[in-house]
Amino acid sequence: MERSAIVLAGGNSSRFGNDKGLTVLAEKPLIKYVLDAIEGLVEEKIVVASSESQAKAYSKTLGAKTNVLVDVKNVQTPLVGALTGLEASSANYSLLLPCDVPFVSGDVLALLFDLCIGRAAAIPRWPNSHVEPLQAVYCTKPASEAARKALDEGKFNLQAMIEKLHGTRYISTLVLQQLDPQLETFFNVNTPMDLKRAELTLKRLSTDTTKS
C-alpha cells in the first residue's frame, strides 16, 4: 500500500467546548470534510481518538470504512496521536491531518505526497519559518521510529519527531498558494467564532461555484 491518511481527533477541544470533529458545519461533521477531501487520494483512512467512548462516537458517525483507533498512550498530545496512526498505517507514506480543517485542499495534499517520494517528510513552511506538521506527509516507518524515540525522551510535540528525521523537504506556502490562493487549507475551527467564519466561507465558495 502506498498512501494512508491519519486524522487526529483526540484533542480536548477546550476552546470549543465540545468534540470539534463531530461538530456540524452545514449539516456535516467537520471531520467528514477532511475525509471527503482525501477520498481517492489515499488507500487507507485512520482516525485517532483519545478514548474508547470518543472512538465509539466516531465509528458510529463514520461507518466501517474508516479505521478508528484509540491513542496508544494515555497522554493527549498530537505526537501520541501521530505515533498511534503511524504504527497502524499499512502504507509507505502517511498524511497527518487534524479533524478541524473543513477547507483542506486535495490538490495541496496530492502535491505533498508527490514531493515526499524518496524523502522522510514533505512539510509546508510559512515565510516566517513556522511549519505545518499536521498537514504534511511522512515516510511512515522512519516517522514512526522518530515519534517513539521523541516520546521515550519525554518530548511531546511534533517538532521533536521532525528533528529526528533525516531528509525532510519543506515546501513554501508561497508555492502552495498557486493551488490554494487564500491558503484556506490551513484554516482551523478552534472556536465557535471560527465556525461562524467557516459558514460564511462555505456560502462564499458556493456563490463562486454558482457564478462560474
C-alpha–C-alpha distance, residues 80 and 84, integer Å: 6
Residue 150 pLDDT exceeds 60:
yes
**CB–CB of 9/31 below 8 Å?**
yes
C-alpha–C-alpha distance, residues 116 and 118, integer Å: 6
Say what the pLDDT of residue 123 is.
Answer: 98
Say what the pLDDT of residue 181 is.
Answer: 95
The alpha carbons of the chain give a radius of gyration, in whole angstroms, of: 16
**CB–CB of 78/160 below 8 Å?**
no
Burial class (CB in 10 A: 0-12, 13-18, 19+), 16: middle
Q: Which fold has domain 3-211?
A: Spore Coat Polysaccharide Biosynthesis Protein SpsA; Chain A (3.90.550)
109, three cell numbers: 495534499
**CB–CB of 172/125 below 8 Å?**
yes
Q: What percentage of the chain carries pLDDT values higher than 90? A: 83
pTM metric for this prediction: 0.94
Say what the pLDDT of residue 84 is.
Answer: 96
C-alpha–C-alpha distance, residues 130 and 196, integer Å: 26
**CB–CB of 104/97 below 8 Å?**
yes
